[in-house]
Structure 1
Amino acid sequence: MARVALEVTEPREFELRLPSEAGRLIVLRRRLEDFLSAHQVPDDDAFDLVMAVSEAAANAVEHPVDPAEPWITVTASFQPEAVLVTVRDTGGWRPSGDAGFRGRGLALIGALTELSVHRSAEGTEVVLRRPLSRS
């Protein structure tokens, strides 16, 4: 049985910890869409954010080596005129190989958001920042 934990930390913050399973990413997308809609994030920005976060979360599910926990954590908050999202896993970084048609996830995320990746012994943290369009 898979469990999903959603915690409302503040009205303008979001945190979701979910099992590291591809089938659970729909929950993330729906909750994030609801959060962004509730804060009146413009549709184009919300679409791009959900796409980029979904890709980052899919990477966090698929790519970690020997994760310490079978969970990923996604947080989102508002900055002045931007949304900041962090996706964390607890595994090591898998060396890149011949990706063929794969391996373009970070490029997609970087095209939709300002992207930074932080790797450490505790896992990988992907930070996405999306400046918001003027409504």
Structure 2
Amino acid sequence: METAEPNRFAVRLPAEPTRLSVLRRRLDDFLVANRVGEADRFDLTVAVSEAAANAIEHPVAPTGPTIVVEASIDDGVVTATIRDSGQWREATEAGFRGRGLALIRAVAEVSVDRTAEGTAVTLRRRLR
């Protein structure tokens, strides 16, 4: 984990689903330290964790075996960006799959940036 300032959070993790619990704990610690309320903490932790799960599961031919999660709190707005180093495959399964971005959009503004270097999901949420 790398932290340069109290209102900034950065972590690089192996792109493995088992590492999501580490991300959730560290993100929650960061949010608690910045006095983010329980409801906002819960929603943000779920949304960031879901975006990180997508970054682990969906890249095709990633150039690196890690994901990077960065977050900041400025003027009552949390911005989090989750990056991988691959291109996301298209969702093909039905049922309960493929609803991650919809879940994230339910609690935050979301943008997805796909480049040759990878995919970045950025979410923003104004704190209550």
Cα offset, 1:33, TM superposition: 0.2
Counterparts of 1:22-61 in structure 2 under 5 Å? 22-61=17-56
Q: Which amino acid aligns with 2:83?
A: R
Is the Cα–Cα contact under 8 Å of residues 7 and 74 in structure 2 kept in the other structure? no
What's 1:99 paired with?
94
Question: Aligned letter for 1:94?
Answer: R
Report the Cα offset of residue 69 of structure 1: 0.2
* Aligned AA (1:81): G
Q: Out of 16, 23, 37, which is 1:21 matched to?
A: 16
Instruction: Work out whether 1:123 is the aligned partner of 2:118.
Output: yes
Work out whether residues 109 and 124 of structure 2, in 8 Å CA contact, stay in contact via their aligned partners in 1.
yes
1:18-77: CA deviation from partner (whole Å, max 9, x where unpaired): 000000110000000000000000110010000000000000001100000000000000
* Paired-residue identity, %: 59
Equivalent residue number for residue 3 of structure 1: none
Matching residue's letter, 1:124: T
State the superposition RMSD in angstroms: 0.8
**Cα offset for 1:99?**
2.7
- Give 5+ residue unaligned stretches, structure 1: 1-5
Return 5+ residue gaps in structure 2 as ranges: none
2:58 is matched with 63
Q: Contact 2:69 / 2:83 at 8 angstroms: preserved in 1?
A: yes
Counterpart residue type for residue 25 of structure 2: R
- Correspondence 1:87 to 2:99: no
List structure 1 runs of 4+ shifted beyond 6 angstroms: none
Amino acid of the structure 2 residue aligned with 1:102: R
What TM-score does the superposition give when structure 1 sets the normalisation length? 0.92
